[in-house]
Structures are given as C-alpha cells and as structure tokens.
Amino acid sequence: MAEFYNASDKITMKVLFVDWWYSPMKELASRVGDLGTESAFEVLARAKEIESTGKKVLHLEIGEPDFPTPPHIVDAAIRALHDGYTHYVPAPGLIQTRQAVAEFYLEKRGISVDPSAVVITPGAKPIMFFTMLALCDPGDEVIYPDPGFPMYESIARLVGAKPVPIPLREHLSFRIDIDELKSLVSPKTKLVILNSPHNPTGSILTKEELKEIARLANEYDFYILSDEVYWAISYSTQKVPSMLEFDEARQKTILLDGWSKAFAMTGWRLGFGIFPSRLVEPITRLVINSVSCTSAFSQIAGIAALKGPWSAVEEMVETFATRRKVIVEGLNNIPDISCVMPDGAFYVFPNVTGTGIDSVTLQKKLLDEFGVACLSGTAFGKYGQGYLRLSYAASLQTIEEALCLIEKAVKK
C-alpha cells in the first residue's frame, strides 16, 4: 500500500492512526459511558460563559443555600486546624463526630441511633455510591423517583444494576403512588430510593406512605436508600417523617444526610450515612479503598454545626418560606404556567406545558435570550418533561427580576 502515498500522505496517515489509537473513546472503560452528569453544573458553566461577555444572568439553577456558613462553624474549623486536626482519622469518621450525629438525631428528630451505625463521608454522594456498590450486582434492579436527583440513575447504571423509574405525578403532589411502586417491585429489586423532601419538586412523603414502603421492603426483601438531606428545610410545624422512625425498617434502611443543605456547607463536602449494622464494615472498606477518610478539621466543624445554635438554620428556613411564597405566586400569575406549592427544600417545579414550548427549549431560551438560568425538568428524568426547576436559594430581588423576564419570554 505504501507506493500509493507520497511522504506527506504517509505522515498524515500516521497522525490519523495515532489519533484513532489514542482517542478517548478507546482509552475509556465502557462503564464511563453509563455515567450521567448534573445539568445544574452544565447550565452554570453556560451562564458563566454568558456573564463573561458582560451580560447579566440571574442564577436560579444551582441547588445550594445562598447563605454563608454560620460563623461558629467556621471558627470551629479554624480552631481544629490549629489544634492539629490535619491528619488521617478512622475511615468511618471520628468517634466524637459519629456520637454527635447520634445525639443530634435523637434531639432534633426523636430517632435513636447507635453511633457505630454512622459513617462519615466527604459529601453525601459517596453514600449513594457505596450503598449501590455494596448491595447491587449486575442485573439487580434499583427503583428510583423520576423526576429525581440524576445521580440515582447514573450510579445504578455504573454498578451494572438496572434503573427502574417510578413516576412522580403532579396530581399526586409529586409523591410516590404506593400501588405503582408495588407493581414495579420484582424478584430482582435490590434497592428502592426515596428522597423526602424531594429534589426537584419539594414534595414530602407522609408517615403513612413511609410505613407502607417499610412494610413492602420486608415483604419483598429489598433495601431502602432514604435520602433525607433536605429534612431540615420544610415549611410545616410538623417534623418531616423519617424512614428510621419505624423499627421494622431499621435493618432495611440506609439513611443519607449531610451538612450541606441545612448548614449552608456545600463546599465543605461533609455527609454521613446511617446503616444497618451488617453493612457498616463493608461500607467502611469501600471508604478505605476510595477516599481513605473524611478530613478531620471539617468533622470538628460538623460537630459545632450539630451542637448549635440552631437559630441560623431557622432564620434561613424563614427566609426561604418568604421567597417560596413570592416565586409560587409569581409563577401562577404568568399565563400558561402553573406551580404547586412545595412542602420542603428550596425548589419550585412549575408546569410549563401550557406555553407550547418543550422544557429544554424553554430553558435554553430563558438563559440565552433573557439571562435567566434554570433547569429543564428533563434534567431529572423523562417524566420531568413539561416542567422547569427553579431554585429560590436566591435573593428576592433576583427572584422578582427573573419572574418578569420569564413572563416576557412566555409572551414572546
């Protein structure tokens, strides 16, 4: 074949061969293709790109409190650094941090927790990873809410499990239909994921619904991953119910929680799981094999957060409640948009089907033409089509400006 090419052609062919041989698709393991992403960060990147051109962007896309970490928590971290908390610690966490979590859960949620059941991790996402890595073999099924946090489906696929969505429908206030859940359970069901209060809809499962799911877990022998990271952000005088309130669910439930949302500590990367006793050792091995341990000084800061004062959390929730009222009323006043009142978290999930524009197109239009950054409901699964997610972890001025621009976009 060489005689058909001159020297220049040979060089070109060699370059093309090298590019093919070392292409990312050839280098990467096939499992990486199963990994999804969080659209919030993609939209944030696009928003920052637009801002770099001098245009104003109103940020309603990122799911984090727009409050500073309370000063007493920051001070505790600084003291911890000076006190030498800069080295390795036990993989499941400092014993005093695990004890503080147990005491906090008893005081604030009325739930008795053995400190030995608590595993501290760098952020709450590792609890999802470690739970599915520990429990799910290829072919096992994981039932997860749709719309829902996109990492549920992504991680399930990564570990080789089959993700099975359970739709959350507006006419049911975006709560799980228990009969539909039962119909989706099969002999291959290994895990059912719950999220209450829920991202992106703000719905909260009732105590009766949780109790029935606990009964199903025992009847059909599956585990429950109960993501309760937003529990402190609710707008009712009643406490948000927890799956761990039911004794029959204790040995079937992994509870996921963390410091990010309640204490405005998203950048601290500090979370925890409460596990059935038989899972603590295998989960600890996964910690050792991945992150070794969670930073010592941040765990000391976490103790300070749990011990209080609690007033900063209460003030934050009061502010969110005011914003919630403004954004829901504002959205419902826009023609062709309707929005249910969320019970918890800091998101609204308005129905935009009346606009005649699919949610992905509308999301892009709002950002590119009007400078409003939000997320299409499809970022949270196929059943999110026809909805947008807007975070009201933003100032009232930002929310009011965004509402005006959304109305202009819809009218246009």
Question: For residue 364, what are the contacts with CB-CB under 8 A and spacing of at least 6?
Answer: none
| 300 and 338 housed in the same domain | no
Question: For residue 144, what are the contacts with CB-CB under 8 A and spacing of at least 6?
Answer: 152, 153, 156, 163, 164, 165, 166, 192, 193
How confident is the model at residue 23, as a pLDDT? 54
Rounded to an integer, what distance in angstroms lies between the CA atom of residue 22 and that of residue 20?
A: 6
Residue 53 sits in a domain whose CATH number is 3.90.1150.10
CA distances, 238 to each of 109, 146, 232, 241, 343 (Å)? 11, 26, 11, 9, 11
At how many degrees (to 10) do helices 71-82 and 296-307 cross?
140
Beta bridge partners of 223: 191
How confident is the model at residue 19, as a pLDDT? 52
State which of 252, 285, 307 marks the end of a domain: 307
Low-confidence spans in the chain with pLDDT less than 70: 1-26, 38
Beta carbons of 202 and 344 less than 8 angstroms apart: yes
**Residue 393 falls within a domain, yes or no?**
yes
Quick: pLDDT tens for 312-355: 999 999 999 999 999 999 999 999 999 999 999 999 999 999 99
**Residue 269 falls within a domain, yes or no?**
yes
Q: What is the mean pLDDT of the chain?
A: 93
Q: How many CB atoms lie within 10 A of CB 275?
A: 25
Beta carbons of 357 and 388 less than 8 angstroms apart: no
Phi, psi (deg, nearest 5) at residue 149: -55, 125
How confident is the model at residue 25, as a pLDDT? 56
What b/e string do you get for 301-314 counting C-beta neighbours within 10 Å, with b at 16 or more?
A: bbbbbbeeebebbe
State which of 245, 278, 307 marks the end of a domain: 307
Which has the closest alpha carbon to 205: 237, 229, 175, 182? 175
How confident is the model at residue 40, as a pLDDT? 76
Alpha helices in 261-395 (DSSP H): 277-290, 296-307, 311-332, 359-370
How confident is the model at residue 31, as a pLDDT? 80
| 403 and 324 housed in the same domain | yes
- Residue 95's domain comprises 87-307
Residue 299 sits in a domain whose CATH number is 3.40.640.10
> Would you give the DSSP letter of residue 68?
P
| 249 and 391 housed in the same domain | no
State which of 307, 328, 351 marks the end of a domain: 307
**DSSP three-state, residue 237:** coil
Beta carbons of 409 and 384 less than 8 angstroms apart: no
